[in-house]
Structure 1
């Protein structure tokens, strides 16, 4: 039997998705498929390691068990995929799977606590009546039984993590706007990862990490992945996806917290202050409404956010509008950025020019000399979201006072799709090269002085700095006059012909 390839895994996963398709929404059933992939992977690793130790210790159960307890994950036999598969026709299969997941969490508490808490394989509300539910679960187990994920049988150690990323991408596409919330398109992640320039021993942070794919992209830029990884996600199911994503990409020590980053940041230092990070990347939810509700008191009808409600004093420069949390995320990230650190975030274009409190906040981070670059990227890069976006790069401890503006939004700098546009490798390379050279290029980039930005009243709208206007060729009036004469002559001829036909018809 040949080795398991990337294509084999992707095909089996997509086949498993067909089991659910038409019955429940893909934004829901993705969790069942990705959890099952995780369990199958753990089980196959467990099975192969057990065989190694059985041979090594010649069947001595005590020594075998001791060795198995030192493995990356610990599984008892009733929590393995093979056991679940053997019970696939059991009328209580949903309960059996839930029990196995609970056991896996309990026996791997430090790594997997709460990872499966948001998914119920026995849910009538989601999976239907007992008979229908059992049919779905039996089919899913049969689909996954076709996969051999033992380390010795997979073509490349990266293919499990790649398959997980592939499925997350497919589900995001399937689920439209809802899916885009937990997934940053690959080449956009690649752009952010290159711009943030991570180094060995950095603490890297994503305060709205979704399924964790952006963080993984950044970590992969560092030799031997020698960095400390921190993330936070407020959606419980997406938090679980992120934890599993890390493990399937062989990252066991990521610190991924579950909670509202704005109201309850979970990564604090020993003194209870916000932890500081050398590198921060983020794709926060665009213009999040009610972003400050976590600060509201019990039963408070007319809640209004004010700076003193935040124990970390992140919002002293101004309070973002209640209906648009973009600047609140920027303030949180800047408060979490270490001196000498770099932060790269993608936001809706409106943050560049909107007035009132947002202008006040924008003015502060420009005056403090944190803003390093403003990059306009094409519209519709996100599934189901047509608005254009901007990538902002911040640095703490800058000596230069200029700000680089790049306009990469023109049609020549991306690939157009039917429902979504895509950055290509050459588009990312062009942006990164211009950013690294920090130079003015006609109709593409401009290095603006602080004085110019101040004269523009701290409005960062890119067309104010990068002139992409193309002059049209001058109109040749003589040629236009000749064309009009030709058209008039042609019209006269047609009218004459028409009159002739009408006469013949006696009209």
Structure 2
């Protein structure tokens, strides 16, 4: 599909989303529109799958009669294969296109649309229930719980709610998702576009589920340096899962995706995002819980780890954590009011010996003292895990304008005698009130990291001795001098210019005085 057609699809979906905009907040109508797009995707996926199975018999899935013995026999066979291959099952009558048709079919006698809310609610439950007792049960459990079709925000009356939902389904039904084109992830790209659009209008809440695409690209390129395939990639604060999926675009294959997310709604969005990007249910393991307090992937190690944790979040910092393998070796815990280094410690614990991790953090982690300074020194001096420190521009994240940095850590570093510092804070574009990384900014940053090349006022490979001299303070200006000397001033030349100007002023005064004398008026000086 061409870029123009992709943009057209994105705009169509955004226009449909705006059908709900006047009814509710951005994060609320996000859950509805993304949920309905996902339902349409599941419907089209199983319809294509069933049609391939039925092709030998010259039958279409929608032509099967669910009420006959023969129809039920076909459906039982398709159900068994679909659960093993796709992980879920939908009857022909439960497909998105059928619900859209029913909702928008006009009853000539009463002049009203058919009521579908109750049936639609049951269909969404049936999708989840179809997976019970199978390998995909955890991946579909309560997946549609945020689609509350009884909410008064959809309308004050049942008829108003029904009309709105039927209208949205009708608009979506007319869009071709091109699922038969296995080479193009058209819908996946459109879904990512919508998530980004919602994030841009969600203010502070955006940080809960979305990392700007340009930053995701940088993190993904950093952790895949020198790799063409990955056994595993992990995000301990995975949000919508976009960052995990971005890593997959940088290599030929990722065998399995792992993630954990605290927010229930965002956790549902991450699972939908995985499935919608055609990641098989056996290829991802996304869990819902507090990563620091209740880690869900105990004792597992991952080849690539990426994260954009909530900046300076609160956590318990309970003394009990000092006996936790993730924190015990450091002797100190991150402060209760700033969990930044707790996330770093968690990620380091899960990092494989041949792995790379890249994490976005606020600048304070580079220089704050106390327990954070102790942890920072341990990572550098005792373990020598820190590979690079990268300063990003301010105001590139939704909901906060603070400057941020990326820490890259490895357990087996190729350049173990130095830490690369990159100051990319002045390399960005600006759109309205938001800064962003341009393609050339990303290319320069990544190339500098991969080649570890020094560049005046941009990058510097600091020796461990140099870092030690700075008391393990990683503040980037200590290592990358961005000072630009002003051009030297030629004082004799400046004096001569001033003298010439003085003479010119006197000449002008004489001319003005002569004119005033001729006119018989007082001089102005």
Instruction: Choose 1 or 2 for highest CA Rg.
Output: 2
The gaps in structure 2 that reach 5 residues or longer are 60-69, 105-112
Residue 172 (1) aligns with residue 172 (2): no
* Match of residue 235, structure 1, among 254, 263, 274: 263
1:455-487: CA deviation from partner (whole Å, max 9, x where unpaired): 101100011011111110012334444565677
Task: Describe the shift of the 1:397–1:155 C-alpha distance in structure 2 as closer, same or farther (beyond 3 A).
Answer: closer
* Match of residue 318, structure 2, among 305, 320, 325: 305
* Match of residue 101, structure 1, among 114, 124, 137: 124
TM-score normalised by structure 2 residue count: 0.84
What's the counterpart of residue 479 of structure 2? 465
SS at match of 1:472: coil
What's the counterpart of residue 433 of structure 1? 447
Task: Describe the shift of the 1:313–1:431 C-alpha distance in structure 2 as closer, same or farther (beyond 3 A).
Answer: closer
Task: Describe the shift of the 1:79–1:8 C-alpha distance in structure 2 as closer, same or farther (beyond 3 A).
Answer: farther
1:113-163: CA deviation from partner (whole Å, max 9, x where unpaired): 2221233122225765434433321221121121133634x5953101111
What's the counterpart of residue 221 of structure 2? 194
* Match of residue 159, structure 1, among 164, 177, 186: 186
Aligned length: 483
Give the stretch that moved more between structures: 329-338 or 136-145.
Answer: 136-145
Once residues 163 and 308 of structure 1 are traced to their aligned partners in structure 2, the CA distance between those partners, rounded to angstroms, is: 42
What's the counterpart of residue 362 of structure 2? 348
SS at match of 2:430: coil
Task: Describe the shift of the 1:452–1:502 C-alpha distance in structure 2 as closer, same or farther (beyond 3 A).
Answer: farther
SS at match of 1:442: coil
SS at match of 1:362: helix
Give the stretch that moved more between structures: 493-502 or 448-457.
Answer: 493-502
Contact kept? 1:79, 1:104, Cα under 8 Å: no
Residue 251 (1) aligns with residue 279 (2): yes
SS at match of 2:431: coil
Give the stretch that moved more between structures: 73-82 or 118-127.
Answer: 118-127
Once residues 439 and 237 of structure 1 are traced to their aligned partners in structure 2, the CA distance between those partners, rounded to angstroms, is: 43
| Correspondence 1:363-374 to 2 at 5 A | 363-367=377-381, 368-374=383-389
1:376-433: CA deviation from partner (whole Å, max 9, x where unpaired): 12111112321111111100133623111111112xx221222211212222221222
Contact kept? 1:119, 1:237, Cα under 8 Å: no
Alpha-carbon distance, 1:177 to partner:
3.0
TM-score normalised by structure 1 residue count: 0.87
The gaps in structure 1 that reach 5 residues or longer are 269-273, 293-303
SS at match of 1:416: strand
* Match of residue 336, structure 1, among 331, 339, 350: 350
Give the stretch that moved more between structures: 335-344 or 304-313.
Answer: 304-313
Alpha-carbon distance, 1:199 to partner:
4.8
Contact kept? 1:189, 1:217, Cα under 8 Å: yes
Once residues 520 and 203 of structure 2 are traced to their aligned partners in structure 1, the CA distance between those partners, rounded to angstroms, is: 58
What's the counterpart of residue 25 of structure 2? 25
Residue 9 (1) aligns with residue 6 (2): no
Q: Root-mean-square deviation (CA), in Å?
A: 3.0
Once residues 205 and 358 of structure 2 are traced to their aligned partners in structure 1, the CA distance between those partners, rounded to angstroms, is: 23
